[in-house]
Structure 1
Amino acid sequence: MSHDPRLILLDPRDNVLVARQRLAAGETIATGAGSGTTDTAIALAHKVARSAIAAGDKILKYGAPIGVATQAVAAGAHVHVHNMRSDYTPTHHLEDERKAGAAS
């Protein structure tokens, strides 16, 4: 099964695809592992779940782990800092700091 030509599969082990162009919210897309629906507008070069990803699962891109899902992600959904914690960059700390500020 092939994936939508507007998406790139960088490595066959990946559980995310990369957008080659902007995608509108609510689009049904072929992921190569079935179909999925975009949950929001997807920006150029952003990640889309190739299949359902459970909270705690590693996010694989380039055939390597790049982070961990912080919540369940449906096939076709946007994968970014709102639902994953990066293994390399501290972007997730912004939300941690917001929560800590609210608790003070």
Structure 2
Amino acid sequence: MTDPRLLLLSEKDNVLVVCRRIEAGETVLVGGHAQVLEKTVALGHKLARRPIVAGEKIVKYGAPIGSATRAITPGEHVHVHNLKSDYTKTHVIAEAGS
């Protein structure tokens, strides 16, 4: 069972896509397990579907999009702090007020 605010694009994926902003402190269900989010996760960002080990390929749309730079737990936000592109440099645009 997975939270309805999360979308699985392909059965091959090890990440889920956030369908609407989820605030820090909210609980999400990932694979039937409850996970409290430490930080707000924006629309379109990714959460780990299962444990991901350092160096493992991150798979979205059924295709690898990069590699984990460290271990990632189920329900954890997957983004530039723990994911690197295997194809292009990663660029970060700071949000206003950051």
TM-score between the two structures when normalised by the length of structure 1: 0.78
Amino acid aligned to 2:54: A
Q: How does 1:44-83 map to 2 (within 5 A)?
A: 44-83=43-82
Deviation of 1:6 after TM superposition, in Å, equals 0.5
- The answer for unaligned runs of 5 or more in structure 2 is 93-98
Letter in 2 for 1:37: V
Structure-2 separation of matches of 1:45 and 1:26: 19
Q: For structure 1, which runs of at least 5 residues remain unmatched after alignment?
A: 95-104
What corresponds to 1:14 in structure 2? 13
Seq. identity, %: 55
2-side partners of 1:44 and 1:9: how far apart? 14
Structure showing the higher helix proportion among its residues = 1
- 1:1-50 deviation per Cα after TM superposition (whole angstroms, max 9, x unaligned): x2111111000111100000001123321123644332311000001111
**Secondary structure in 2 matching 1:91:** coil
Judge conservation of contact 1:68–1:86 (CA < 8 Å) in 2: yes
Aligned residues: 92
Which one has the largest radius of gyration?
Answer: 1
Where 2:24 maps in the other structure, the secondary structure is: coil
Over 2 Å off, 4+ runs: 32-39
Give the AA of the match of 2:12: R
Give me the CA root mean square deviation: 1.7
Alignment of 1:83-102 (within 5 A): 83-91=82-90
Do the aligned partners of residues 42 and 32 (structure 1) sit closer, same or farther apart at CA in structure 2, a change above 3 Å counting?
Answer: same
TM-score, normalised relative to structure 2: 0.83
